[in-house]
Amino acid sequence: MSLPDRGSQTGPSPRAGLAWVVHDTRVRDVVLQGLALAVVVGAIAFFVSNAAEALRVRGIASGFGYLSQEAGFGIGESLFLGFEPSDSYLRAFLVGLVNTLRVSLLAIVAATVLGFVLGIMRLSRNLGAAKLSAAYVELFRNTPQLLQIVFWYAVMTRLPGPRQAISPGGDVFVSNRGIKLPWPIADAAYAWAGAAFLVAILAAYLLRGWARARRARIGTAPPIGGACAALLLGLPVLAWALAGAPTALDRPALRGLNFVGGATLSPEFVALFLGLSLYTAAFIAEIVRGGIEAVHRGQVDAARSLGLRQAQIYRLVVIPQALRVMVPPAAGQYVSLAKSSSLAVAIGYPDLVNVSNTTLNQTGHVVEALLLMSLVYLAISFSIAAAMNLYNRLVAIKER
Q: How far apart are CA 269 and CA 350, in angstroms?
A: 9
- Taking only the tens of pLDDT, the chain with its 400 residues reads 445 454 444 555 555 555 555 666 777 778 888 888 899 888 888 877 777 677 667 666 667 778 888 888 888 887 777 788 888 889 999 999 999 999 999 999 999 999 999 998 988 888 888 999 999 999 999 999 999 999 999 999 999 988 888 888 778 888 888 888 888 888 888 889 989 999 998 988 888 888 878 877 877 777 777 888 888 888 999 998 988 888 888 888 888 788 888 888 899 999 999 999 999 999 999 999 888 888 887 877 787 787 777 777 777 778 778 888 888 899 999 999 999 999 999 998 998 999 999 888 888 788 888 888 999 999 999 999 888 888 777 666 555 5
Q: How far apart are CA 241 and CA 363, in angstroms?
A: 50
Q: How far apart are CA 336 and CA 340, in angstroms?
A: 6
- In one letter, which amino acid is 370? L
pLDDT reported for residue 20: 56
Q: What is the end-to-end Cα distance of the chain in Å, rounded?
A: 66
pLDDT reported for residue 125: 82
pLDDT reported for residue 186: 82
Q: How far apart are CA 121 and CA 134, in angstroms?
A: 9
Bridge partners of 12? none
CA angle 283/99/265 to nearest 5° reads: 85
Q: How far apart are CA 102 and CA 351, in angstroms?
A: 9
119 contacts 286 by C-beta, under 8 angstroms: yes
How do 183-184 and 263-265 pair as beta strands? unpaired
- Residue 183: its H or E element: strand 183-184
CA angle 196/201/204 to nearest 5° reads: 120
Q: How far apart are CA 344 and CA 352, in angstroms?
A: 9
Q: How far apart are CA 310 and CA 304, in angstroms?
A: 8
- Give phi and psi for 83, each to the nearest 5: -150, 135
pLDDT reported for residue 7: 46
pLDDT reported for residue 114: 95
pLDDT reported for residue 262: 82
84 contacts 254 by C-beta, under 8 angstroms: no
Helices (H), the chain: 14-23, 25-57, 89-122, 127-141, 145-157, 188-218, 225-242, 267-293, 297-305, 310-313, 319-340, 352-363, 366-395
- In one letter, which amino acid is 26? R
The Cα-based distances of 381 to 21, 90, 150, 286 in angstroms read: 37, 22, 25, 22
pTM: 0.79
Residue of 362, 357, 352, 349 lying closest to 76 (CA atoms): 349
pLDDT reported for residue 62: 66
Helices (H), 219-249: 225-242
134 contacts 388 by C-beta, under 8 angstroms: no
Q: What is the CATH number of domain 89-185+248-395?
A: 1.10.3720.10
pLDDT reported for residue 225: 75
Q: How far apart are CA 393 and CA 391, in angstroms?
A: 5
pLDDT reported for residue 1: 44
Q: How far apart are CA 344 and CA 107, in angstroms?
A: 13
pLDDT reported for residue 18: 55
- In one letter, which amino acid is 342? S
How many Cβ atoms from other residues are within 10 Å of residue 290's Cβ?
A: 15
Residue of 353, 152, 164 lying closest to 270 (CA atoms): 152
- Give phi and psi for 335, each to the nearest 5: -65, -45
- In one letter, which amino acid is 51? A
pLDDT reported for residue 19: 59
Q: How far apart are CA 197 and CA 202, in angstroms?
A: 9
Torsion of CA 182, 186, 187, 189, to 10 degrees: 60
Q: How far apart are CA 273 and CA 279, in angstroms?
A: 10
Domain boundaries, the chain: 25-60, 89-185+248-395, 186-247
